A and B are shown apart, each in its own frame.
Chain A
Amino acid sequence: MERNQTLRLNATTMQNPPLPVGFKLDKIRLPYYESISVGTPTGVTSSALVAGYRYLHYTSPVNETIELYGWQANFQNVLIRIQFSETRGDIWIPFYSTQMTAVFGAFAQAEPVLLLPRPYPIRPGSKIQIAIQNTGVENISNTIITLVGARLREIIR
């Protein structure tokens, strides 16, 4: 069965986005941002990373390939350590030794979204596990991390 036929049979297949008449490419990339409120919930709209605590979060499984380009956080603290792995892949950071500033961009930096060396395709259904530890002595409030990427969409003709 051809790929397009498979997609047509999938009830959750999204419709094509608008395209110019005569557009020839078979795949396009749509903007994709996943924002995750990380830590301990402290209210109806905010979370906090409590000093000394470790947290586990996952990106959402999506039925299309997501190309991961980089990460952004709305906070920066060198005492936040992180660990990544992919549920259908391998471990990206084996120990709690990487500081968040090496992975997450911040708006006051030259690169507000810190890019990976190469875009990484997260396969349909797979998730990135994000382990976060606040090794400092102070809580950090209002903590949201964002995956910046593109949703790879096959054009159905």
Chain B
Amino acid sequence: MYQFGGYFQQYVDAVLKNYVRYEPIFLTIPIGFDGSTVSQRLSVFTPPVDSDCLLFGANVDFSNSAVLLKITDTQSGYVWNQLQSNAGATIAGTPITAIAGIQTQVMPVLPLVCPFFLSRQSKLQHDFSNSATSLTTGGNITWNGIKLFA
């Protein structure tokens, strides 16, 4: 299957060719849902990293398919999500279960279709929206990848 970018080894090799070595990296970002505000919206960013990274997949430590997420690469402005509202019903993001694995499930880290290159000048902006009915409290998202050393 496509576990950790198996589809695109050529892309990963082309990126790695430009670096001397790499090390695993795990970027964890606390979300900070208060657990009491309905549909609470929060923006959190990946922590600063002093090297380029290739991100392969993500995990969250809660199980709530009504939590929505929109991701933006701050350097290029590329937004990962296309959100289609339905007449008056708008959605603030993609259900988290389509982007990140859930810790209690068979696939706790959900791989991206193709690894994402995160430049050291950039960050990923995560725009979270909590559920309107069954609220999540706290929450963390972790990106699983490799740190690239030039």
Contact = CB atoms under 8 A, between A and B. Distances in A.
Most buried by B among A18, A19, A30, A107: A107
The DSSP consensus for interface residues of chain A is loop
Interface stretch (B27-35, B42-50, B82-90): B82-90
Interface in B54-95: 63, 65-66, 68, 71, 73, 75-78, 80-95
A112 B117 contact: no
B145 interface: no
Interface string A45-88: 11100000000010110100001010010110000000000000
Nearest to B93: A35
A34 B77 CA distance: 17
Which of A37, A45, A62 gathers the greatest number of chain B CB atoms within 10 Å? Answer: A45
Given A36-B84, A107-B105, A112-B101, A74 B89 contact: no
A29 B91 contact: no
B81 A33 contact: yes
A118 to B, nearest CB: 10
B97 interface: yes
Chain A interface residue count: which class?
35 or more
A4 interface: no
Contacts of A29: 8, 11, 113-114
Given A31-B71, A35-B82, 15 more contacts: A18-B121, A23-B14, A23-B15, A28-B11, A31-B114, A33-B98, A35-B83, A36-B84, A37-B85, A37-B90, A45-B90, A45-B91, A45-B132, A72-B95, A146-B95
Interface of B: 1-2, 7-8, 10-11, 14-15, 17-19, 39, 52, 63, 65-66, 68, 71, 73, 75-78, 80-95, 97-99, 101-102, 105-107, 110, 112-114, 116-119, 121-122, 132-133, 148
The 10 closest A-B pairs by CB, nearest first: A107-B97, A18-B119, A41-B89, A29-B114, A74-B65, A37-B86, A72-B98, A34-B82, A20-B18, A74-B95
